[in-house]
Amino acid sequence: MVLRESDSELDRGDTAPDFELRGVDGQTYSLESFADTDALLLVFTCNHCPYAKAKFEFLNELTEEFDDAAVVGINPNANPEYPDDDFESMVDLVEAGTIDYDAYLYDETQDVARAYGAVCTPDPFLFAREDDQWQLAYHGRLDDALDPDSEPTEFYAREAIESVLAGESVDHEDLPSRGCSIKWVNE
In a domain, 158, yes or no: yes
Question: pLDDT (tens digit, 0 to 9) for every residue of the chain, 187 residues total?
Answer: 454 455 567 888 999 999 999 999 999 999 999 999 999 999 999 999 999 999 999 999 999 999 999 999 999 998 888 999 999 999 999 999 999 999 999 999 999 999 999 999 999 999 999 988 999 999 999 999 988 999 999 999 999 999 999 999 999 888 888 899 999 987 6
Q: Is residue 141 part of a domain?
A: yes
**Has residue 187 been placed in a domain?**
no
Q: What is the pTM of this model?
A: 0.94
Q: How many domains does the chain have?
A: 1
Peptide bond into 76 cis (omega under 30): no
Q: What is the CATH number of the domain that holds 90?
A: 3.40.30.10
Domain membership of residue 136 as a residue range: 3-181
Report if residue 34 sits inside a domain: yes
